[in-house]
Structure 1
Amino acid sequence: MNSALLDPERQFLGCLMQLATDPARRVLSGMSPADLANPTASFVLHLAIRAVANDQPPTPIMLFEHAQEIAERPRASRLHEVAVWIADTYQAAPLAPEQHATHLKAVVLKAAWRRAVAEHAQRLLQAVAESSTDELSELTEDTCAVDEVWSRYQAALNHNSVSARLEVGA
């Protein structure tokens, strides 16, 4: 079984690769490559954001062209791995990409938020053992990164709710 079928990040990117520029721009709103845990997925999202910023659809060939452009010293083996990853991801993507992409965006952002919370908790645990009380107090209050991902996740959820109500009403 293709692992892309079970990976929400890859499913999200596979849907994204099927979209025209304007729908892709809507789906990418509020997304960051750092939202994805898989380094290759993160890189491909960066390529998609770059393509859409240049008013190009995030198709597999366009993503690969951008990968070739930004590679400092294009290593044939790494570019080949990225090309295969993109092709597998595209091939495993669900149909009705825009509807699935908005749902998968929320799934991906939920996972990103959970990772941000875990990273913050890890910093707190380390600070408990190694930092002064004042530093620990500051760190407990510094939840900006976690809050920012939470806001984007909530926005994605709200967009899904609005889309579902509009679909049912139609």
Structure 2
Amino acid sequence: MDTATAALIDPERQLLGCLLQLPTGPARRVLAEMHANDLADPEAAHVLGLAIEVLARDQDPAPVVLYTHAVTTGQAPGRTRREALAQWLFDTYRDAPPAALAEHLKAAVLEAAWRRALTAHADRLRQAADTAPTDLLRELADDTGAIDDLWRRYRAAAEPTTRLEVAA
């Protein structure tokens, strides 16, 4: 799939596209309690990490700001890497949905992250179930802190802050 198509159908890219349009204050609200590792795509996670860093410096997460930050901090070494990042940011910004969808996309991204974490936990349990000592298996079964945190953040993002009604 080419990058332009991915920007149109991938919720992670769509969320970042919305973010690239927002000024500092609204961008901070959208990214509240989000972590770069919430995203499955490595490039999207890298860009989210850049956005978190520039917002911490009180800068808007505009494409040129993220690009410049990546270059000046050594996070986009070499010409090929810089060109790939520039193209990714360009495609994501160009094909972004309206910024007003950012909160909805945040919830979708966090739900997917929660589901991935739950699946990974279930896989670990399934692999250990037949052979692990029972004490270790019990400890592994109870180790749900990351899953619980993602669930809490997903539910908080999924709860609408304002109720909208459609006119009859």
Give the TM-score normalised by structure 1: 0.91
1:17 Cα offset (Å): 0.3
Q: Find the counterpart in structure 2 of residue 28 from structure 1.
A: 31
Report SS of the residue matched to 2:33.
Answer: coil
Q: RMSD across aligned C-alpha pairs, in angstroms?
A: 1.5
What do the CA deviations read for 1:10-40 (whole angstroms, capped 9, x no partner)?
0000000000000000000010000000000
Q: Distance in 2 between matches of 1:92 and 1:126?
A: 41
Say whether residues 1:84 and 2:87 are aligned partners. yes
Gap runs ≥5 in structure 1: none
Letter in 2 for 1:162: T
Gap runs ≥5 in structure 2: none
Q: Distance in 2 between matches of 1:133 and 1:79?
A: 50
What do the CA deviations read for 1:62-111 (whole angstroms, capped 9, x no partner)?
0101111222682110121111011100000012x0x2000000000000
Structure with the larger helix share: 1
Matches within 5 A, 1:19-168: 19-71=22-74, 74-95=77-98, 97=99, 99-158=100-159, 161-163=160-162, 165=163, 167-168=164-165
Tell me which stretches of 4 or more aligned residues in structure 1 moved more than 6 Å: none
Contact persistence 2:110–2:154 (CA under 8 A):
yes
Q: Distance in 1 between matches of 2:138 and 2:25?
A: 44
1:2 Cα offset (Å): 2.1
What do the CA deviations read for 1:88-135 (whole angstroms, capped 9, x no partner)?
00000012x0x2000000000000000000111111112214421110
Contact persistence 2:118–2:147 (CA under 8 A):
yes
Q: Find the counterpart in structure 2 of residue 8 from structure 1.
A: 11
Letter in 2 for 1:112: A
Letter in 1 for 2:138: S
